[in-house]
Every structure is written in C-alpha cells, then in structure tokens.
C-alpha cells in the first residue's frame, strides 16, 4: 500500500496526456499496447474520455478510459504501472470514474475482464460489479486468446 500522504491525485485526461498515456499503456499491457495514434482515435470518439492518476511529482501511475452512449458506458481500458500495482491506484481511478459517470446520468457501466485475472475481478466485485456473461476468446494475451467475463454495475442507486 502507498504511504499516507503518497495518495495519487486523479484528474480527467487531457489531450496533452497522449504521450504519457501511450507509455503507460505499453507498460501496463506489453503484449497488446495501444500507441499514441490509437489512443487519440479512441479519445476522439463521441462519449470517450478518462482519468489519469498521478504521483506527487506529476508522473502518471494509472489510467481509466471509458466510452459513454446515452445512459450506459463501458470501460475501454484500466491500467496501472506494474511497479505501482496493489497500492489502490486502480480503485481510486475506478471510484473517480464511477462518481463522475453517475453524476452525468449514466445508469450502467459495463466492462470485460480476463477470466484468468482474479485480481482485477476482485477489484470490480468490490466496487459492486456483477458478472452477466462471458465472451469466448475475446481478449488477446501473451499465450493467445483468452475468454472474458462481462460485468456490469448499476450507477446512481
């Protein structure tokens, strides 16, 4: 866990964050990184946005990317620097996203998570997500395609 007073700041992503976001995505997902161009295209989509967690020196520690349509949203990607995992950064990002999306009138937030990622599943379940389906061979991984669980959380309840 991070030391008290070393709690990361979380803020909305800005266009100026693309280089740092691409580098962080590459560290978080080395088997399938999204480059600057791909991230710019994603963030240019209607309803797309996200949050960035920063350390006290302003270095990016993690990110959450979402896309909203009508009263639903989906998590596109959530990543934390591998050297800073298990410090609550992913939870802080998710909490910021949940709070903001609920305030914007989002009713449900969906996501897909690898069936072989129990740490991420535990994070989502702790935030009230429940499993509603499964997508065979949906995610790519270092050992080939992996199944994904589809999870959802109602917001504003």
CATH class for domain 9-154? alpha beta
Task: Dump pLDDT digits (tens) for 24-66.
Answer: 999 998 888 899 999 999 999 999 999 999 999 889 999 999 9
φ/ψ bin of 27: left (φ > 0), alpha (ψ from -120 to 50), beta (otherwise): alpha
Dig out the tokens for 128 from the structure: 């009230």
Distance, CA of 157 to CA of 15 (rounded, Å): 32
Task: Dump pLDDT digits (tens) for 72-120.
Answer: 999 999 999 999 999 999 999 999 999 999 999 999 999 999 999 999 9
Dig out the tokens for 112 from the structure: 């897909």
């Amino acid at each position: 866990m991070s030391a008290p007073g070393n709690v990361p700041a979380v803020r909305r992503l800005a266009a100026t964050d693309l280089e740092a976001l691409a580098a962080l995505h590459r560290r978080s997902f080395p088997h399938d990184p999204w480059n600057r161009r791909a991230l710019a295209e994603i963030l240019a989509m209607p309803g797309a946005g996200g949050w960035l967690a920063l350390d006290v020196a302003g270095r990016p520690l993690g990110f959450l990317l979402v896309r909203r349509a009508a009263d639903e949203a989906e998590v596109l990607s959530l990543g934390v620097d591998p050297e800073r995992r298990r410090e609550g950064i992913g939870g802080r990002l998710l909490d910021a996203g949940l709070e903001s999306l609920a305030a914007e009138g989002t009713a449900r937030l969906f996501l897909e998570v690898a069936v072989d990622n129990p740490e991420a599943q535990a994070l989502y379940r702790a935030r009230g997500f429940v499993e509603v389906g499964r997508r065979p061979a949906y995610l790519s991984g270092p050992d080939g395609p992996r199944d994904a669980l589809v999870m959802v959380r109602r917001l504003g309840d």
